[in-house]
Amino acid sequence: MQQDQLIVQLQAGNERAFERIYQLYSESIFGIIYTITRDKNVSEEILQDVFLKIWNNASSYNSDKGRFFTWILNIARNASIDKIRSKDFKNKQLNLKSDNFVDILEAKSNFSSKIDAIGLQKYIDILEPVCKKLIDLLFFKGFTQKETAEKLNMPLGTVKTRNRVCIDKLRSTVI
């Protein structure tokens, strides 16, 4: 749900609204940042920066342009990509074994309690390989429809319809 009232309060500089926004979005945003950077400490730094930006620039969000979640998503993806392109980060990161969010889910499920592991495993099982690729590029990496079509060598319209099917499957597991 888009918390319209909450966003108005945030834009007015209300700290309690900010805390509520943090509770709602921080874990999802943290997952996005971590998928891009693969570094827990760096991800924590970036998450803090992202929420400071949300606080400072809240007034620049306009619901006519898109969802509030999408707005935050863009801030987080841009901050993360800036970080992994920076020199000090490249030197530190010798090997990025994992390719997409699925690896993280798999690794995580191996260390989690059984109940959590089942929850994570269902994402891994239900999503076809193409869905994993589509969601990774479009959602976690922030590729545009056109960029995704080129990357996966897929017609533009197919990206849209195939992704729709993938998200439908995802929704069937969530609800």
Partner 1 sequence: MEDINEYIQSGILELYVYGALTEAESAEVSATLKQYPEVQEEVAQIENSLMQLSAAAAPFNPEQLINSIKQKLSGSEKVIPITRKKSSVVPYIGWAASLLFLLGLFVLFNRNNELQNSVQALQAEKAQMESQIAEARNNAERSQQLLAVLRDRNIVRVPLNGQQVAPEAYAIAYYNKEDNKTYIDAKDLPEPPRGMVYQVWSLKMQPLTPASIGLLDKFEEDDNKIFELSNSNLSEGFGITLEPAGGSETPTMEQLYTLGTVSSS
CB closer to partner 1 out of 91 and 111: 111
CB closer to partner 1 out of 92 and 116: 116
Minimum Å gap between C-beta 86 and partner 1 is 21
Minimum Å gap between C-beta 88 and partner 1 is 21
Minimum Å gap between C-beta 158 and partner 1 is 10
> What's the rounded Cα separation, in Å, for the pair 16 and 138?
32
> What's the rounded Cα separation, in Å, for the pair 126 and 166?
9
Long-range contacts for 61-64 (Cβ within 8 Å, ≥24 apart)?
61/7, 61/11, 63/2, 63/4, 63/7
CB closer to partner 1 out of 94 and 175: 175
Minimum Å gap between C-beta 90 and partner 1 is 21
CA 7 to mean position of chain CA atoms: 20
Minimum Å gap between C-beta 71 and partner 1 is 8
> b vs e for 124-157, b when ≥16 Cβ sit within 10 Å of the residue's Cβ?
eeebeeebbbbbbbbbbbbbeeeebbeebeeeee
Contacts with partner 1, residue ranges (CB under 8 A): 1-2, 15, 18-19, 22-23, 25-32, 34-35, 40, 43-44, 47-48, 51-52, 55-56, 63-67, 69-70, 73-74, 101, 104-105, 108, 119-120, 123, 135, 138-140, 142-145, 148, 160-164, 167, 170-171, 174-175
> What's the rounded Cα separation, in Å, for the pair 33 and 40?
9
Minimum Å gap between C-beta 164 and partner 1 is 3
CB closer to partner 1 out of 6 and 138: 138
CB closer to partner 1 out of 1 and 87: 1
> What's the rounded Cα separation, in Å, for the pair 128 and 137?
14
CA 162 to mean position of chain CA atoms: 20
CB closer to partner 1 out of 89 and 139: 139
